[in-house]
Amino acid sequence: MSLLRAVLPAACAARRTTTTAGTALAVVLVLTAQLVAAVAGPASAARARTVPVEPRVVGLAVAGAPTDLAEAASVSSRTGAAIDQVTFYVAWSRGGDFPAADASRITATGAVPELTWEPWDPAAGLDQPAYALDAIAAGRHDAYLRRWAQQIKAWGKPLVIRFAHEMNGDWYPWAEGVNGNAAGDHAAAWRHVVDVFRRAKVGNVTWTWAANVPYAGSTPLSSLYPGDAYVHRVGLDGYNWGTTQPWSTWQSFGEVFGPGVAELRSLTTRPIHVSETGAPEGAGGDKAAWTTDAWAWLDAHPEVRGVTWFSFLKEADWRVDSSDAGLAAWGAGARRW
């Protein structure tokens, strides 16, 4: 395994309780040994389930990251809330090298970087044969993968990789049913990417498998999941779209995530994270009240160990500071969660 699923929470816990690097490393080594035992067999897996519940993770995805962290710093400063994880996005078409300096900029704030790694060219639509899942599984991008694996290993700090997210939808070329992708191709491509990192002996990556919240017509999660041996944690992206779209209505946080969390829990015992979420301002409901209710729902569902807020002005105003009331509600929950 690349790294125990708990390395990110362990790093966050170390951040909150100590600045001693040796302590954090010891936590990682102990937990990694327990994961190795879990993979070894049923008896060891039973012992691994005695690992204490991992700390919660509060994440933020902001415009400008990973180069410009001013917005994340401002949100943290204005609310007094620690940000444990900062998410950024990289398309494979960009090529180049792992942005070690940018990742270090995130770690310097005390947060862990999460790389959302997207196998596509964002300007080229759904039909992208070069990035078809079977092309990835066949090794046609291995030079790129090996280069990044070695660079991430050399960088050496904890990194979360969220590869090919929202794969159960139909809006990305890595979804099954588009771009020539067939059933089983996603899991095969996922395993191939992880295996490239394993062969490079990368030990500082936490692999997050993050689907969209299930909806009518989405691909069943069970047919896409690559297996616990290839995943450290699982996640869901979901939004309260309010009345911003012709097809959408105001939904509570529980209505957005409840069914998907139950489906994931039936599929795996891996920790569940809300990988992206947000609500619009002034689109059929009270965003501040929605945010307060979201934190309450998370309190009532301890199986969810992390939440990342998508703080962008994009299809709607998802920013956590879109209003003073909204920011106050976000901060009140983030400080205590």
DSSP 8-state assignment for residue 228: G
Per run of 10 residues, the mean pLDDT along the chain (length 337 residues) is 34 40 34 39 38 81 97 98 98 98 98 98 98 98 98 98 98 98 98 98 98 98 98 98 97 98 97 98 96 98 98 96 98 97
Q: Which residues of 116-143 are buried (b: 16+ CB within 10 A; e: fewer)?
A: bbbbbeeeeeeebebbbbbbbbeeebee
Residue owning tokens 């007094």: 80
Q: What residues contact residue 330 under an 8 Å CB cut-off, 6+ apart?
A: 75, 79, 81, 291, 309, 320, 321
Q: What residues contact residue 224 under an 8 Å CB cut-off, 6+ apart?
A: 167, 168, 176, 186, 187, 211
Closest of 58, 55, 51 to residue 14, by C-alpha: 55
Closest of 192, 221, 197 to residue 209, by C-alpha: 221
E-state strands within 40-92: 57-62, 85-91
User: Residue 41: beta bridge partners?
Assistant: none
Amino acid, res. 252: S
What pLDDT score does 177 carry?
A: 96
Q: What are phi and psi of 290, to 5 degrees?
A: -60, -40
User: Residue 183: beta bridge partners?
Assistant: none
3-state SS class at 280 = coil
**Measuring CA to CA, how many Å separate 103 from each of 69, 86, 98, 139, 205?**
11, 9, 9, 26, 13
CATH 3.40.50.2300 for domain 55-336, yes or no, is: no
Residue owning tokens 């699923």: 5
Give the angle 190-191-192 at the CA atoms, nearest 5°.
90
pTM of this structure: 0.85
What pLDDT score does 76 carry?
A: 98
Whether omega for the bond prior to residue 158 falls within 30 degrees of 0, making it cis, is no
Q: Which secondary-structure segment (H or E) carries 311?
A: strand 304-311
What pLDDT score does 90 carry?
A: 98
Q: How far apart (Å, rounded) are the C-alpha atoms in residues 331 and 76? A: 8
Contact 193, 145 (CB under 8 A): yes
Q: How far apart (Å, rounded) are the C-alpha atoms in residues 86 and 109? A: 10
E-state strands within 144-265: 159-163, 205-212, 233-237
Q: Which residues of 263-276 are buried (b: 16+ CB within 10 A; e: fewer)?
A: bbeeebebbbbbbb
What pLDDT score does 54 carry?
A: 78
Radius of gyration of the chain (CA): 19
Q: How far apart (Å, rounded) are the C-alpha atoms in residues 138 and 151? A: 22
